[in-house]
Structure formats: structure tokens, C-alpha cells
Chain A
Amino acid sequence: MKSIDPWTIDVRGSWLARAALRGLELLRGPLSALGVDVGVARTLLAVRFLLDKRGTFAGLEGQFQTGFVLLLAMGWLSGIGVGIAAVAKLPGSTWVGLIAVHAFVMSLFVMLVHFGTILVDGSDVAPIAARPVSDRTFFAVRLAHLSVYVAAIASTSMFWPLLLGWLAYPWWAILVLVPIAALLGSACAIGVVAAGFSSLLALLGPDRFQRAAFWAQALAAGLFVGGPQLITPILIATLPKDGGAASMLWIEWVPPYCAGALYDLVTLQASATTVERALVAIGAPLVLSVIALLAAARGYVRGISADVVGPLPRTRTWPRISIGRRICRNSDEHAGYGLAAALVFRDKTFLRAVVPLAFALFAGALGGTMPLLREKLALPPVIGALPLYIFAIVVPAVAELLSVTSTPESAAALDALPIQHRVDVLRGALKAMLLRVVAPLFVAGSAFLLVLSHGRIGIHVPIAACGAFAIGLLSVRLLALRMPFSHRPLPGEGSMRNLPVMFGVVGVAILAGGVHFAASLHTLTTIGALILAVLLVPLAWHGLRGIREPRRA
């Protein structure tokens, strides 16, 4: 039997880790010039990959891979559109530019939903903080770690363009340019995110960094979802009315779209600005990465070690306790309620997971209401309320996130208590989460839509809000949940268990939206829908009694 030498940090089993370490070695010269200790960076990076592979506990080792494979599959599927665009026989430079933009958007999305926290996660800093590792080296390791995962996912989107591109363009140009454009787009996105975070650090200092980064992430999530819907009308309004393309030439200079110039360059169709635009495409990610590294030079380790939540305000807690006593059926449930009520606005991992989701949904609802704001479109008022059904997914999503925490070790303290039924603790925590996080979100979302539509969608808002809340609530009993605040998630971690429920909620929400639309055609049925939706909420709340026993870690 082959004996394994324990005195080695072995990452030979991971091709991603090997690629990352090789990349660092190739960049040794420039990185050293920027003040990165490449030897130390290689060791730290190898350790990070090893830790990713091993997970938090032995029983969870498979989960990281599951989430990562899901994202790879998503990247692969997302490339279909750009691949098919080749058949439309767009100009080669436009198509290559689109590939870069697609990789850019895909990478941004992946960072927003999963991997962006690699740059700001302070949970594993402590073992290294007292060792001689410079801020820049530490940042470079995080950046390399992030880059490898994001680039791997973005690169799966190349499959369809590589497969279909030859139908319209020279095969050799496709083989060379598709990977380059995808990687440039991905690198540009990574550079934007990294430079954004490190600029926040440089501007605000380490003590405020985590808080600023947290709100930046939440806003970015909102912009990502709602931004295109908000920007599209503005873009359309600024388009030249005469159909002339001359005034839109500036777009050809915007990275990563300007990577399209590479096509003109390799097919010898260069115009006066082709070389410059190609240089912008290649230079932008480099410049952004250098800015990020330079800005992270001072206080990065201290910055990510700081807390997301500031000092607690001195507030009276009796109203919360009073509500908890009223809605909880026994002491275990009350204990779970108290735990969640205290932690939902303090646990940084939970907040990092939930607040961006809330912002994204808000932005989605806002985007959905945009047609109402356009005076020329005479749509029925109910259309403006239907985006509220998106909110149905908030309930199961936040219920699943209720288990995440920055201090999973504290779950042991909970286990040591004489809890009769763990499911009661979970139910109490769910109630606190529903009252303190989800219900305010629904109220705020409803109020937002009402104000935005100047009250034109009136009665339809409570119907949609109650309907969505009830649908979400009913789904909770189908979920496989963990004990509240008991689990530290890994980057990219995902579980297949609750995915069918999530898809089911989306399906039912769409169906409910259709029923709502049909009911809105007559006043009586509209009133009936309102009564039904309002009655469904307490019924669904009652259904929390049937939630499943929490999963063991």
C-alpha cells in the first residue's frame, strides 16, 4: 500500500488548485514587484483549496462540490444564447464583444451570489493574523482563489460559442478568440469587484471596511437585478433617433465589449482604432487588478477582521419578548424565537446572505413596475402588483439561510441544553425570522409599489402580498432545514435537497399570479381574491406546526 507523507500540503488531486498555483508562479515577477510574497501566497492558496475540499466537517465534504458543479452547469447553459447569436451572423467583432460581455455578467452574478465573499470573509483570518503575512499577499491569495473559481465557471459558457461559432466565422478565429474574450470578460468583472472592495478599504479605513463592503454587496445585488430594467429605458431614450450608429461608437470602447476589436485584428480588418480598443480590453483587467492590490496594501487583514455590525444600540427588548411569548407554544419554541430574534440583525454571515437577496428582490419588483411608469403603455393596474409574487421565494430562501452563522461552534451550547424537541426550537426561530425579517420585507415591498404607482394598483397589492406570503409559508413544511445558526457555509456550497421546493414555489407563485390576473377582471372576484389571500395567511402560519425535524450536522 502506498504510504502518504504527512509532511506535505498536497493539492495534487485538484486541477483547479494546481492551475491556480501555476498561475501564481507564472506571475511571480510582476507580483513580487507589487510587493506580494509569492512563496507565502502559494502556501496560503494551497491551504485554502485544501480547506475548500475538506469542508467544515467530514459529513459535509460533498456539498462544496455539489454547489460548484451546479454553477458550472449554469454557466454552460447560459452560453446557449451567445452561441446561437452566431447564427444571426452579427459582425464578428460584435459577436466576440458579446461573448466578453456575457462572461463579464456571468462572473458578476457568480460573485454576487456565491464567491464575492471570498474577498471580505474574515472568518478564517485569525490563524494567520499574527503571522508575518503582508496585507497585499493576503489580498493576492484571496484574489487568486476567487479568480480561479469564477474563471472556471465563466469558461464553461464558452462551450456553445465554440460549437456554433464556426457556422458564421472562421474556425481558427473562433478557437483563438472565444476563450480569450471569455477570460477577458471574466477578468474584467473580477477586477471591478476587487478594485471596488479595496478602494472602499483605502477610502474608509479598516474599521469601517466590513460595514461598507456589506452595503456595497447588497446594493450591487439590487443593481444587478433591477439595474438593466432601470437602465434600458434610459438607453433607449438616448439612442440616436436617425438610426445613425456614429453617436454610439463610445460603446465600442467600453471594456469588456471592446474585446470585439480582437476579431478585427486577427482577421486583418483593423480600422484606425482597433489596436487601441484591443489594448483597452486587455489592459482594463490588469489595471483594475493592480489598483486593487495597491489599494489593499494597508489594513486589509484588519479590515476583513472587523465586524459587519456596529455596537448594539441601547434598545428596550420587552416588546419582542412579549410577542415571542404570545406566539410560541412552549419553552423550546420560545428559546428558538429568542435566539433568532437576537441574531437575525447581528450575525454577519446571515446578514450577508439575506440582505443582498432582499435588495435584489426589491430591485426586481421595482423593475417589474417600470411599465406602469411609462405613460404610453395602458396596462391593467394588476400588472403592477404581480411582481410581488416574486417575494414568495423569500420565505423558503430565508428559512434555509436561517441555519448559517459566523459562529457555528455556538450550536454546541444549544445542543447541551435540555431541549425536548429540536423541531420546536427551529419553529420558534422561524417565527422570529418571519416576523422580524420577512414580514417587514413584504410590508416595505408593498408600500414601495403603492408609492411608485401613486396608488393606482391599490387593492391588488394586499392580494399579491398576502398570496405570496402564504405560498412561501406553506412551502416551509416541505423544506429540509438545519437548526438555526448552526452552520458556516462554504463558498459555492449548495444543497440539492430544497431545490425542487424552491422551483415549486416559483411555479405556484406564477400560477397564483395568473389566477390573480383572471380574478382582477371583475370587481366581485377581485374582492373574493382579497378575502381568500388574507385568510390563507393564518392558515399557512398554522401549517408551521408540520415542519420537518431539523437535519443533523
Chain B
Amino acid sequence: MSQPAVSLRGVHHAYLASKPVLDGIDLEVPRGTILGYLGANGAGKSTTIKILLGLLTPRAGEVRVLGLDPRTESLAIKRRVGYVPENALLYDQLTVAETLLLVGRIHGLTDAVVRDRGTAFLDALELSRETNARVATLSKGMRQKVLLSAALLHGPELLFLDEPLSGLDVNAQLLVKRLMRRLADGGRTIFYSSHVLGVVQEICDRVVILDAGRVAVEGTVEEVRNARAGGTLERIFADVTRPEGEEERVAALVAAIS
């Protein structure tokens, strides 16, 4: 059996010692699969991705990405992965083409290759008219398309996607979903963090639901549904992560603004 693309064992992390964000995460992501990584706000999804990229060092536990340790080999990992962050982290005053050139050159691609691939991505994502536009002038969805193009430019083996469909129009969403499936079928691995559970149910091979810094649910979509007596992923997510007293909280909110 081949080595998993991602492996986490007993990973703990806390920004403040008294408040752990990850509290003993155990997880494996087989190669060539799409993992839906779910959890409520503040559950530790983005923190996990930052640890996997070597941007954060966990307080405890063992982490492997493509067989490498992010603590000591983060540069080698970054060469082989692509990352679409939750917030559009781009230089506002660079143009779209300059942004892709910057990323491509960092990955060691020639300008000609960046131009060819970049043009293809921008055409496919209907962004070619904005090639020479500064990022600052783009809409949220357009920025997301630039991030996606930048993440895919060097043909990564593993993709970390943190809400990649955020702000995209329907056509672009359909295209990206199909692209993700094709990439996974071609042997690439996708670590997909999202709150859009319909999409997760549609395209992911496996799902993990985090609650209070721990893995609360793990398995294929079917396994998870069968274990929870059917229902949608949304229902299962709510059962696992929703605190008690929703009605009372809604009433309190309405009362507060009345």
C-alpha cells in the first residue's frame, strides 16, 4: 500500500496555552482522494492546513505530508503542493499575469511555461480579459480564480483548498468541481476544507468532521451517512457540532435588536 499523502498522529496545537485548537488529531489521507475537512468556525481547519504547510509548528504530535516532515522539510513540501487560502492572499498592486509569473518563477518554471499555462487557466476560468488588470481591481470571485490558477500552475501532487469556491459564479463552481474530480482521478490528492456541505457530499471521497479540536466523524460519505442512520451531510454535521438551545439563541438575537 502506498504512503498516505497526509498523515497526522496525536497533533495538538494551541495559540493560547489555556485554549487548545487541535486536541489530538489522528488522520490519514490516501493519495488520489478528495478529503472533505469540515468543522464549525474556529474548529481548527485552517490551523491544520497551516501545520501541514509548515507555517505553524504543532505543540505535539507527528505530521507527514507526502512522506516529509513539515517541521524540517517545509520547503520541499511547498514545492510539491498547491494552496488556496481562505482569504485572498495576493499582492493587490500586481497584475494577474505578474502574480502568476511571480508564483511560477518561485516554483522554477520558465516564463514561457507560465505564460502557456497561465493563459490556459485564465481562458478556462473566463478571466483572460483581466490578464493585465491589477488584483486590487478584481472582484472577490476573480481573485479566487487567480488564487486557483496560482495554486495549480506547477502541477502540484497535493492541493490544500480552503473554501476554494468562495465568491465564484455558478459556471466557475461547476468547472472547479469537475476539475477537482479529474485531478483526483489522475492520482492527485485534494485536502478540501469547506462549509458548503452540498459540494463536499457531491465530490469528496472521504469526510472528516472536527469538533472541539478532535476528529468527531471520519469515513466515506456513505459510511458516515450509514453510521448516522441516513440523512444529509448537513444534518449529520449539525448533530455533531451544534450546541444545544438553538431556538433560545435565535430568540435572544431577535430580542436584542427589537
0/1 string, A492-503, CB within 8 A of B gives 1: 000000000000
Across the interface, A6 reaches (CB within 8 A) one of B89, B131, B136, namely B131
- Is the CB of A66 closer than 8 A to any CB of chain B? no
Interface mask (A34-47 → B, CB under 8 Å = 1, otherwise 0): 00000110011001
Chain B residues near A133: list those with CB within 8 A. Answer: 75, 78, 106
Interface residues of A in 9-52 (CB under 8 A from B): 9, 39-40, 43-44, 47, 50-51
Complex CA–CA separation, A129 to B55 (angstroms): 7
In the complex, which residues of chain B have a beta carbon less than 8 angstroms from the beta carbon of A311? 16
Q: Quick one: closest A residue to B154, CB to CB?
A: A132
B232 CB within 8 Å of chain A = no
A347 to B219, CA, bound (A): 44
Given contacts A6-B95, A6-B131, A56-B92, contact A43 B118 (CB under 8 A): no
Closest to B96 in A: A6
Closest-CB distance, B21 to chain A (whole angstroms): 14
Would you call A8 an interface residue if the criterion is a C-beta within 8 Å of the partner chain's C-beta atoms?
A: yes
Interface residues of A in 43-73 (CB under 8 A from B): 43-44, 47, 50-51, 54-57
Is the interface on chain B under 10, 10 to 19, 20 to 34, or 35 or more residues? Answer: 20 to 34
Residue A7 at the B interface, CB < 8 A? yes
**What residues of chain A lie closer than 8 Å to B132, measured between beta carbons?**
4, 6
Shortest A36–chain B CB gap in Å is: 13
Which listed residue (B75, B102, B115) contacts A47, Cβ 8 A?
A: B102
Q: Which of B78, B91, B96, B114 contacts A130 (CB 8 A)?
A: B78
A131 touches B97 (CB 8 A): no
Complex interface residues of chain B between 106 and 146 (CB less than 8 A to chain A): 106-108, 111, 114-115, 118, 131-132, 134, 136
Q: Which residues in A have their C-beta under 8 angstroms from that of B114?
A: 7
Q: Are B83 and A130 in contact (CB under 8 A)?
A: yes
Q: Which residues of B contact A4 (CB under 8 A)?
A: 132
CB distance from A202 to the nearest CB of B (A): 17
Q: Are A9 and B55 in contact (CB under 8 A)?
A: no
A 295-317 contacts with B by CB, 8 A = 302, 305, 311
Judge whether B242 is part of the interface by a CB distance below 8 angstroms: no
Question: Whole-angstrom distance from the CB of B42 to the nearest CB of chain A?
Answer: 16
Residue from the list A51, A131, A302 in contact with B106, Cβ < 8 A: A131
Residue of A nearest to B85 (CB): A130
B94 at the interface (CB under 8 A from A): yes
Residue total for A at the interface (Cβ-Cβ under 8 A): 29
- B105 at interface by CB-CB < 8 Å: yes
Whether A7 contacts B90 by the Cβ 8 Å rule is no
CA distance A101 to B231 in the complex (A): 77
Please measure, in the bound complex, the distance between the C-alpha atom of A4 and the C-alpha atom of B90, giving whole angstroms: 23
**Most chain A beta-carbon neighbours within 10 Å: one of B85, B93, B115, B134:** B93
- Contacts of A56 on B, CB cut-off 8 Å? 92-93
* A127 in complex: contacting residue of B75, B90, B96, B115, CB < 8 Å: B90
Give Cα A305 to B71, complex, Å.
17
Inter-subunit contact A126/B89 (CB<8 Å): yes
Distance of B99 from chain A, by nearest CB (Å):
8
CB distance from A314 to the nearest CB of B (A): 12
The answer, among A50, A124, A129, A302, for a CB contact under 8 Å with B98, is A50
Residues in chain B near residue A302, CB distance under 8 A:
55
CA gap between A51 and B93 in the complex, in Å: 6
Q: Are A7 and B97 in contact (CB under 8 A)?
A: yes
Q: Which residue on chain A has the smallest CB distance to residue B55?
A: A129
CB distance from B91 to the nearest CB of A (A): 6
* Beta-carbon nearest neighbor of A305 in chain B: B55
Q: How far is the CA of A494 from the CA of B97 in the complex (A)?
A: 30
Q: Is A134 in contact with chain B by the CB < 8 A criterion?
A: yes
Taking CB atoms, residues of chain A closer than 8 Å to B105 are 39-40, 43
User: Contact at B78–A132, with CB atoms within 8 Å?
Assistant: yes
Whether B91 and A127, one on each chain, are in contact in the complex, defined by CB atoms closer than 8 angstroms, is yes
Within 8 A of B (CB), among A349-401: none
Among B75, B89, B95, B106, the most chain A Cβ lie within 10 Å of the Cβ of B106
Query: What separation, in Å, do the CA atoms of A91 and B206 have in the docked complex?
Result: 80
Within 8 A of A (CB), among B188-228: none
**Docked pose: A124 CA to B114 CA in angstroms:** 23
B118 to chain A: which residues have CB within 8 Å?
A: 7
Pair B107/A131 contact, Cβ less than 8 Å:
yes
Taking the complex as formed, is B53 at the interface, i.e. its CB lies under 8 A from any CB of chain A?
yes
List of A residues within 8 angstroms of B94 by Cβ: 47, 50-51
**Chain A residues near B111 (CB-CB < 8 A):** 7-8
A416 CA to B96 CA, complexed, in Å: 28
Is A55 a contact partner of B93 (Cβ separation < 8 A)?
yes
Collect the chain A residues with CB atoms within 8 Å of residue B92's CB.
56
15 CB contacts below 8 A, A to B, read A6-B96, A7-B114, A7-B118, A7-B131, A8-B111, A9-B102, A43-B102, A47-B91, A47-B94, A126-B85, A126-B89, A128-B106, A130-B53, A132-B76, A132-B78
Task: Enumerate chain B interface residues (CB-CB to A < 8 A).
Answer: 16, 53, 55, 75-76, 78-79, 83, 85, 89-98, 101-103, 105-108, 111, 114-115, 118, 131-132, 134, 136
Extra A-B contacts (13), CB below 8 Å, given A47-B102, A130-B55, A131-B78: A6-B131, A6-B132, A8-B98, A43-B102, A43-B105, A47-B94, A50-B93, A50-B98, A55-B93, A126-B85, A130-B83, A132-B75, A302-B55
The 10 closest A-B pairs by CB, nearest first: A132-B78, A6-B132, A54-B93, A6-B97, A126-B89, A43-B105, A132-B79, A7-B115, A130-B83, A127-B89
